Chain A
Amino acid sequence: MTTVAPDPETLAKPATFRPTYDDDAAPALPRPGLGKPTPDERFSKIGSWLGALGLAWLVTQRLLPLEGLPWFLITWFVFGTVVGAVSAAMSGGIIDVKDRVAESVITATALVVVAAVASAIVFVFSRGWKPLTHLNFVTDDMSGVGPKDGFEVGGILHAIVGSGIELGIALLITLPLGIGTAVFMTEVGGRFAKVVRTVVEAMTALPSIVAGLFIYTVFIIALGTHGPGRSGLAASLAISVMMLPIIARAADVVLRVVPGGLREASLALGASRWRTVWHVVLPTARPGLATAVILGVARGVGETSPVLLTSGAAGFMVTNPTDGAMNSLPLFIYSTVRSGEPTAITRAFGAATVLLILVLVLFVTARLLARQRTGPSRSRSKK
C-alpha cells in the first residue's frame, strides 16, 4: 500500500487525495504484537540471567568463601539484577532500569514464596510417609502403645475419629446459626442487623486460644464435676465459638453479592420474602456458601489451640463426646511431637501428613464447588 505524495503546486488548491493501492507492492509484513518483547529485549533479559549464573558460580565457587546453595542463589539474584539493570541502562534511561529491577525483585519474591509453601508441604510429606506405609496407622489407636514402639503397632484412628466428631458437632452448631445470621443481616436488615454485623465482625478478631480459654473457664471449671469436664463436647464448643464469626462473616459476604435484580424479580413475581430467600437467594449463593463453610472447616480442623485447652488427649478410641478426654489430629500431633522421642516425632509427622491430606481434599472440594458456579449458569445463559 503506497500513497501518492501530492506535489506542492496542487497543494495550493483545495483538493482531496485518496491513497491508491499498488498491486505490485510486496504484501505488508505482519506486525509483531505490541505487548510482546522483541528478540533483542528477550535476549537481554535471558542473557543477563545466564551471565549472572556464570558470575555467581565464579564468585561463590572460585573467589569468595561463600559455600552452600543459599549463597549461590543470593549471589545469582544480585548479579542477575545488576546485569539486567546495566543492560537496561545501555538502551534506556533510569525508568527502564527501575522497571527491570522491580520486575526481577517481584518475580524472585514470588518464587521464594512458592518455594516456601512447597518446602513446608514436601517436608511434612517426606518426614511423615513412613508410618503411612503401615495400614494399622489409620485403622488402630494408640492404646497400650509406648512412645518408642515401632510403626507396626498403634495408629491415629482415634484422633481422626475425634476430629470428625468434634467438627461434626461444631458444624451442627455453627452452620444453622452462621448462615441464619448471614440471612438475617442481608435479607431482613434494619438497625439491629447492623449491631449484629458489627459484633460478629469484631469477634472474628478473637484469638483462637482465647476462645479455648473461654470454654475452659465456663464449661470445664465453672461446671466442675457437674459437667462432662474435658471432653469432645467442650472441644467442639470451643471450635464453634471460634468458627461461628468466621462462617457468619464469610456467608454474609457471599449473600451480599447475590444480584439484587434476582431478588427483585422474585418479589415482583409475587413470591414472599421467605420464598425469595429459600428459592432464589440461597440456591444462587449455594456454591459460595459451600466454599465458605468448607474453608471454615479446614480452618477448624487444623486449629490446635482451642482443642489444647478443652479436650484433653486420650490415647484410645473415644466415640462419646461427653465421656471424658478425646483426642484430635492437631492435638495428637502437638502432644506427640512434644515427647521428643524420634519415633514419636516421625509418628507426629505421619499424623501431620494425614491432616494435610485432609485439608488438601477439603480445599480442592471447595475449589471445585466454587468453579461450578460459573460453569453451568453461563452455558445456560448462552442458550
Chain B
Amino acid sequence: MPVSGAMTGREDRSLTTTTIESHEPDQDVRPRTLSRRATGADAVFAHSARAVGASVLVITGGVGMFLAWQAYPTLKRYGFSFFTEQAWQPDEDVIGIAAVLGGTISVALVAMFFAFPAALMMALYISEYAPAKLKATLVSVIDLMAAVPSIVYGLWGFFLVMPHAAELALWLHKHLGWIPIFDVRGTDPDAAVWDTTRYVASAFCAGIAVSMMVMPMACAVMRQVFSQTPQGEKEAALALGASRWGMITAVVLPFGRGGIIGGTMLGLGRALGETIAVVLIISPAFELKPNILEVGTSTISALIAGRFGEASPAQLSALLAAGFVLFMITLVINTLAAVVVNRSRSGSDTI
C-alpha cells in the first residue's frame, strides 16, 4: 500500500537527527502584547474619520432636532386640534393638517395602487421571464426611471396623462359612482357634455404621476431580492415538475417577501414626500374627503411649497410642524421597511 511506503520514507528521513537549541529554562517567555489602538498616522486617520462622522451626525441629526424644536410651539398652541382641523387659515388663527394629511395619504395610496403591481410584475419579469439579452437593458430602464427628474414626470402627468385620466375618472364615476371614493360631487356623469373641470387636478391625477416616481424604487429593491433567490431551490421546484408560475409562487415570492414589503414601503415613503409633480397637477383645496377623482386636494409638501413665501414667523413654525409630521411619517415607514428587509431571509445587503 502506498501509505505505508510513505510512512517508511518518513521514518528513514527521521533518522537524521535535528537538535533544537533550547532556551535557558528560567528565561521568561511571554507573548508580546498586541494592541488594537491606532498609532501615528492611523490615529490621525481614525480621529479625523470620527470627526467627519460626528459632523455629519450633527448636520443630519441637527435638521431633525431643529424641526422638532420649531414644531413644538405650534403643537403646544394648537394641541390635538392641529391634527383634526381641516382648514389652514393662519389669518384667523385656525390651523390644522387633517385635510392635507388626508390628501397626502390619498395621493400616496393612489400612487401605490398603480406602482405596487407594476413594480412587482416588472421585477418578476426581469428576474424570471425576460430573455437574457433583454435583462440588462430592462434593469437600466428601471434605474433610468428613478433618475428622471420629478419635474419631468410632473410635466408628463399634467400635459399628457391628465386629459386621459379625466376620461378614466369619468368612466369610473359613471359605472362605479355608488362607491364613495369614485363619486364626484356637483356633476352628472350622464350629462350630454361632461364637465371636464370637475375631473382634473385631483388626487387621482397626481397619484398617477407620483406612481411613476416610486415604481422604480420599489421595483429595484424587489428585483435585487428576487435575483438573490437560491438557484438550487428554483431548479428543485422546476425539477419536481412545477410550472414557471408554480416555481415563482413556491420559491421566489416566499423568499422575496421581505423585499416586496420593504420595497413597497420605501416607495410609499417617497410618495408621501413628493412635492413638485403634485404641486404642478393639483388645484389646492383644504377639505378632508374620500372623493379621489374630484378636483382639488392638497398634500403637506404642496402646502409648504405654496405657503412658505408669505408666511410670518408663527406661520413658518406651523409649516415646520407640518413638515415635521411628514418627516416623522416617512421616517417610521422607512424604518419599518428597513426592519422588514433586514429580518427577511434574503438578507440585509439589499437596500
Contacts and interface: CB of A to CB of B under 8 A. Distances in A.
Secondary structure type dominating chain B contacts: helix
A302 B269 CA distance: 19
A204 B246 CA distance: 37
Contact of B246 (A99, A184, A199): A99
Contact of B53 (A106, A181, A349, A355): A181
B56 interface: yes
Given A96-B243, A177-B52, A180-B49, A256 B125 contact: no
Nearest to B46: A188
Interface in A178-212: 178, 180-181, 183-185, 187-188, 192-193, 195-196, 199-211
A120 interface: yes
B46 A333 contact: no
Contacts of B246: 95, 98-99
Contact of B305 (A183, A256, A309, A348): A309
Contact of B152 (A202, A203, A356): A356
Q: Kindly name the residue among A203, A301, A363 whose own CB sees the greatest number of chain B CB atoms within 10 A.
A: A203
B63 A203 contact: yes
> Which label, helix, strand, loop or mixed, suits the secondary structure of the A interface?
helix
Given A176-B52, A196-B53, 8 more contacts: A109-B117, A114-B138, A116-B212, A120-B160, A202-B331, A209-B275, A302-B152, A355-B152
B118 interface: yes
Contacts, number: 260
Nearest to B242: A95
Contacts of B126: 110
B84 interface: no
A313 interface: no
Interface in A205-257: 205-211, 213-214, 216-218, 221, 241, 244-245, 248, 253, 256-257
B37 to A, nearest CB: 11
Interface in B42-94: 42, 44-46, 48-50, 52-57, 59-61, 63-64, 66-67, 70
B152 A124 contact: yes
Contacts of B130: 110
A105 B155 CA distance: 29
Given A103-B129, A355-B149, A363-B143, A273 B38 contact: yes
A95 B141 contact: no
B269 A205 contact: yes
B150 A303 contact: yes
A43 interface: no
Contacts of A203: 60-61, 63-64
A269 interface: no
B200 interface: no
A184 B50 contact: yes
Contact of B327 (A177, A192, A210, A218): A210
A98 B52 contact: no
27 contacts: A102-B244, A103-B129, A103-B245, A109-B122, A110-B129, A110-B138, A113-B215, A124-B156, A180-B48, A180-B56, A196-B53, A199-B64, A204-B334, A205-B335, A209-B304, A210-B67, A210-B304, A244-B59, A244-B60, A248-B56, A272-B45, A273-B42, A274-B44, A303-B149, A308-B276, A330-B151, A360-B144
